[in-house]
Copies of this chain bind each other. A is one copy, B any other.
């Protein structure tokens, strides 16, 4: 049982294992929370590319390849100057389109002195990035922001945090879609103890996977605080939990609570559109924003509580990734019925990758 390297598995095998799933490039992904991008440079690796982010004087977010074309210094070691960025090493400056605008030691500027500029789209606490060829930018591939709860009147959007996890992004997707683990990995934290056994409906429409469960449960104290429920005592609530997995970039988790003993109380809705974004090899980001149908502030301990929850997932996901890395991608998984949704999602992701491969085969996937 010896370690095997990537090169020993074929492209076809990669599409069947969540630890080595490739990411389609001609797509939008969540790149950052709005609050992370400012007049100070910020760098992040997305789909293996190092990308530097900053805002221009009018607040527009900019994303450039994080590599000065002159001598290869990360531009993120430099500083924002006006609407552009200055390299720390020799002071070359680049504008928001990535074109060099200033060389201290000479007045003429060669055309090749330019870096790739990535299209961005900012709405409702999220900044989305287009990772494909700029010429192939397709805004119709952006998700429906209303459905995500990010542009819904009367809803309050609270950006929570970004978690970097040391596993392939497909593994995070499958973790989010698989609600049967909640009862065991997060005992008492976000369910009343019966989620693993609850019946569920699955649908596979419109290129996405949707699972929903209807349960009546008695919230634990922690669960009541996390979801900001009216009932912090022992009275049962009716809960509809819907997970909507949208390849390649989102897992939208919606919780709808109603109160059997207060039939006139409004539905209590939380939409949690989680961005799932590949980073470098075997790493991904989990972006976390919550949109709620009520205007109250989140209880002060809800955010650290959710962070702790994601950290529990992170520990398990990273352990699995390390083991597969060490013992080989061809080790089998034995699935059960509750895995059907995740396996179907895996096929949908693989199909997206395959479709892009066929379509882009004769072209370069990356611009200079």
Contacts and interface: CB of A to CB of B under 8 A. Distances in A.
Interface of A: 1-2, 48-50, 67, 69-74, 77, 86-91, 103-106, 110, 112-113, 178, 180-181, 183-185, 196-197, 315-316, 319-320, 323-324, 327, 331-338, 366
Contacts of A178: 90
- Copies assembled: 3
Contacts of A331: 67, 72
Most buried by B among A74, A113, A319, A333: A319
Contacts of A70: 333-336
Contacts of A316: 73, 77, 88-89
A88 B184 contact: yes
A144 to B, nearest CB: 31
Contacts of A335: 70
A335 B50 CA distance: 22
Nearest to A105: B338
A105 B331 CA distance: 23
A171 B18 CA distance: 39
B323 A89 contact: no
Most buried by B among A71, A91, A112: A71
A91 B323 CA distance: 19
28 contacts: A1-B49, A1-B366, A2-B48, A67-B331, A69-B333, A70-B333, A70-B334, A71-B320, A72-B320, A72-B331, A72-B333, A74-B323, A77-B315, A77-B319, A86-B184, A89-B316, A90-B181, A90-B184, A104-B183, A104-B184, A104-B196, A104-B197, A105-B197, A105-B337, A106-B336, A110-B336, A113-B334, A113-B336
A158 B183 CA distance: 44
Given A67-B331, A73-B316, A110-B336, 7 more contacts: A69-B332, A77-B315, A88-B184, A105-B196, A112-B334, A113-B334, A113-B336
Given A2-B48, A184-B104, A73 B320 contact: yes
Which 10 A-B pairs give the minimum distances between C-beta atoms? A91-B184, A105-B338, A104-B196, A72-B320, A69-B334, A112-B334, A105-B180, A90-B181, A113-B334, A89-B316
A17 to B, nearest CB: 10
Nearest to A92: B336
Contacts of A319: 73-74, 77
A183 B103 CA distance: 13
Contacts of A112: 332, 334
A323 to B, nearest CB: 6
A336 B102 CA distance: 12
A342 B359 CA distance: 43
Contacts of A181: 89-90
A319 B50 CA distance: 12
Contacts of A88: 184-185, 316
Nearest to A194: B104
B90 A324 contact: no
A145 to B, nearest CB: 30
A91 to B, nearest CB: 4
Nearest to A320: B72
